[in-house]
Amino acid sequence: MAWLPKLARMAVLVLLLAFLLQPSWFEPLLRPLVQQNAPAIYNQGSLFWLTVLHLRTVFVATLAAAIVAVALAILVTRRAGAEFLPLSRSLVNIGQTFPPVAVLALAVPIFGFGEKPTLIALFLYGLLPIFENALTGLTTLPPAVMEAARGAGMTERQRLFNIELPLALPVILTGIRLSVVISLATATIGSTVAAKTLGEVIIAGLQSNNLAFVLQGGLIVAALAVLIHDALQALERFLSGRVRA
């Protein structure tokens, strides 16, 4: 029965693509959720392009967070940068200390309305899980492997790129997965400051008391989170298998 989860994920993917490309096919299912004469399918923009823009925002913010968080983890695991560990932890905890809504409120007066405040909020919110996992991955490497690398005459740079990062990659990817899933949901609030995300659909539904709109936005985000989570988890298992081999 191991094929059942794969079949379920494939069904979710097919349904998601069908809904984004041909939402009118699903109108009969959503019609009972709306008042008479109210639209059952979101009609204030393209659901497909809102999804693409939502994913782009999450990707850019997560990529920036991953670069900064992994760089910080590398710094504090070197002999010369170990003393910066407390400071680094304080920096990456900023995103968890301030709610994304508060970050948006502070960023809008500086950067204006649009995507930039959302990117900043998601970037700060995504730092902690990636940093902590990168730190764990780089500090729990097999001592025998590291000793063999030193014995082979590898420089610190060679050990980092040829041994440490490849071995730590599955653990780092776990942090990136957590960051992506958090950002997918959090990005919806970006629409409150005019960012183009799936939050537009949810907000439009709340403003017009249209449950179908709210359900569409929520289900698309949920489906994306499940599919991306499972894809990254599969990649982690693949990389872990290669590391053990």
Residue-wise pLDDT for 110-152, tens only, equals: 888 888 999 999 999 999 999 999 999 999 888 888 888 788 8
- Give the separation between CA 92 and CA 237, rounded to whole angstroms: 27
Residue 138 lies in a domain: yes
Amino acid at 126: G
| Tens-place pLDDT, residues 74-114 | 999 988 888 888 888 888 888 778 778 888 888 888 888 88
Q: Which domain holds residue 155?
A: 48-244
Q: What is the pLDDT of residues 163-174, one digit of tens each?
A: 889 999 999 999
CATH of the domain at 125: 1.10.3720.10
Is the predicted pLDDT of residue 228 greater than 70, yes or no?
A: yes
Is pLDDT of 3 > 80?
no
User: Which tokens in the block code for residue 17?
Assistant: 């693509």
Percent of the residues in the chain that have a pLDDT greater than 70, as a whole number: 97
Residue 66 falls within a domain, yes or no?
A: yes
pLDDT at residue 214 is higher than 90? yes
Query: Which pLDDT belongs to residue 243?
Result: 64
Question: What pLDDT, on the 0 to 100 scale, is given for residue 74?
Answer: 93
Q: Is residue 41 part of a domain?
A: no
Q: With respect to residue 141, please indicate whether it lies within any of the assigned structural domains.
A: yes
CA proximity to 139, closest of 115, 181, 172, 180: 172
Q: Residue 158 — very low, low, confident or very high, per pLDDT cuts 50/70/90?
A: confident
Asked if residues 153 and 233 have their Cβ atoms less than 8 Å apart, the reply is no
Q: Mean pLDDT, to the nearest integer, of 5-34?
A: 89
pLDDT for position 244: 61
Instruction: Measure the CA–CA gap between 217 and 205, rounded to whole angstroms.
Output: 9
For 194-207, the pLDDT digits (tens) are 889 999 999 999 99
Number of domains in the chain: 1
Contact 175, 192 (CB under 8 A): no
pLDDT at 232 over 60: yes
- Gap between the Cα atoms of 39 and 172, Å rounded: 44
